[in-house]
Amino acid sequence: MKANKKITGLAICSLVFALTVQAQDLHFSQFFNSPLTTNPANTGFIPDADYRLGANYRNQWSAVMTVPYKTTSIFGDAQLFRDKLENGWLGIGGVLLSDVAGSGSLRSTKVYGSIAYHQQLGNSSLLSAGFNVGWANKRIDQSKLKFPDQFDGKFFDAPFTAVSLTNTSVSYMDVQAGMNYAYFPQENVYINTGYSIHHVNRPKETFFNDNTNAGRIPMRHIGFVNAILKVNDRVIINPNAYFTTQAKATELVFGLNGNYNLSEYGEKQLVAGLYYRLGDAIAPMIGFELNNTKFTFSYDATLSSLNKFNNYRGALEFSIIKKGFYPQNQDRQSMCPTFY
């Protein structure tokens, strides 16, 4: 009974927080497998291919929420004009995001178109800049919501509420911009870092009739650094670090994953890794790569005080990414370490 009261209190607080303050953006623990949402300069930033297609799915807090948070993304990007621009190329792409949060069916739908330019600086480095523009919509089913003034101490059975939403759907335009730098001094070493600003235009997002700037989404800053290092003919490791801040909230994720070659030229690879979100969770990862199609699964085990409610069960994620070359570029040399 005591645990149920705690969970009920947590649900009430979560609801009030969701409706009254500026919410944080969607995110994936496998941020490195969601390149276009991490930084628009990643559009066409594919050192070992000409194009890629991917999808991500995240299911979070199923242990404490009646309806868990579910986030899905589908993306694709490609390189253009590599044979027409001197030591550079254009990247174009797009991403579709869908999210359902909680029993109130708070639904987010976002569609972005992305473009970036990539310019080689000599033979061992690359500078990129890009931006994306998109349409975002959030909607909620108010009939499924329960508010604190409907709680009688035991049940949500009061038929009235003082809370009134002016709108149950809101749409806006959203803009992101970013830059990347890559350094590849030899075939076995590749280092990449980037910085991006999200919600550059600070769009307004609120379900209430508010003529102030309180409903404006704060800009979000994201920085990352990663390396791809070939240890030997069987092992390539990929250390990563990711930091983001928005509205005084911060997130730091770091860790390492590696690929183990199971075939002569890397057609089959085993993928495994471990990541840590500071003060929150640890996320082991396992996967498999077959003919440039990579499948990965990770699970967030909660280490924060929330584990008292969810029994360490945080979120699970699936990712699939397919990379490929245009027919005329099958023999193009990769900028990062490979098994072939």
| Each residue's pLDDT tens digit, 85-106 | 888 999 999 999 999 876 657 8
Lowest mean pLDDT among 207-221, 291-305, 315-329: 207-221
33 exposure class (CB count in 10 Å sphere: 0-12, 13-18, 19+) = buried
Q: How far is 184 from 333, CA to CA, in rounded Å?
A: 13
What pLDDT, on the 0 to 100 scale, is given for residue 153?
58
Q: How far is 323 from 44, CA to CA, in rounded Å?
A: 11
Residue 188 lies in a domain: yes
Both tokens of residue 340?
A: 């072939």
Residue 155 pLDDT grade (very low, low, confident, very high; cuts 50, 70, 90): low
Residue 338 lies in a domain: no
Residue 290 lies in a domain: yes
Q: How far is 116 from 178, CA to CA, in rounded Å?
A: 9
Residue 163 pLDDT grade (very low, low, confident, very high; cuts 50, 70, 90): low
287 exposure class (CB count in 10 Å sphere: 0-12, 13-18, 19+) = buried
What pLDDT, on the 0 to 100 scale, is given for residue 151?
59
Both tokens of residue 17?
A: 């927080």
Report how far apart the first and last C-alpha atoms of the chain are (Å, whole number): 60
**Do residues 285 and 258 touch, judged by C-beta distance below 8 A?**
no
Q: How far is 245 from 33, CA to CA, in rounded Å?
A: 20
**Predicted confidence (pLDDT) per residue in 171-210, tens digit:** 999 999 999 999 999 999 999 999 999 999 999 888 777 6
Residue 88: CB atoms within 10 A of its CB come to 16
Residue 16 pLDDT grade (very low, low, confident, very high; cuts 50, 70, 90): very low
Distances (CA, A) of 325 to 47, 51, 122, 140: 11, 7, 23, 42
Model confidence at 226: pLDDT above 90: yes
Q: Considering its fold, how many domains does the chain have in total? A: 1
Place of tokens 């991006």: 196
Model confidence at 14: pLDDT above 50: no
Mean pLDDT over residues 213-231, rounded? 92
Residue 339 lies in a domain: no
pLDDT, the chain, mean: 85
Q: What is the CATH number of the domain that holds 198?
A: 2.40.160.40
Place of tokens 């242990």: 63
Q: How far is 336 from 192, CA to CA, in rounded Å?
A: 10
User: Structural domain of residue 73, as residue ranges?
Assistant: 2-329
pTM: 0.85
Residue 267 lies in a domain: yes
Most confident range (mean pLDDT) of 99-103, 163-167, 326-330, 336-340 is: 336-340
Both tokens of residue 69?
A: 């948070």
**Predicted confidence (pLDDT) per residue in 252-305, tens digit:** 999 999 999 999 888 999 999 999 999 989 999 999 999 999 999 999 998 887
Tell how far CA 54 is from the center of its chain: 12
Alpha helices (H) in 21-106, listed in sequence order: 35-38
Residue 263 lies in a domain: yes
Residue 15 φ/ψ, nearest 5 degrees: -65, -50
Residue 337 lies in a domain: no
Residue 325 lies in a domain: yes
Mean pLDDT over residues 113-139, rounded? 95
Most confident range (mean pLDDT) of 48-57, 77-86, 99-108 is: 48-57
Mean pLDDT over residues 114-118, rounded? 98
What pLDDT, on the 0 to 100 scale, is given for residue 129?
98
Within 13 Å, how many C-alpha atoms sit on residue 201's CB side? 14
Model confidence at 4: pLDDT above 60: no
Mean pLDDT over residues 223-235, rounded? 96
What pLDDT, on the 0 to 100 scale, is given for residue 69?
84
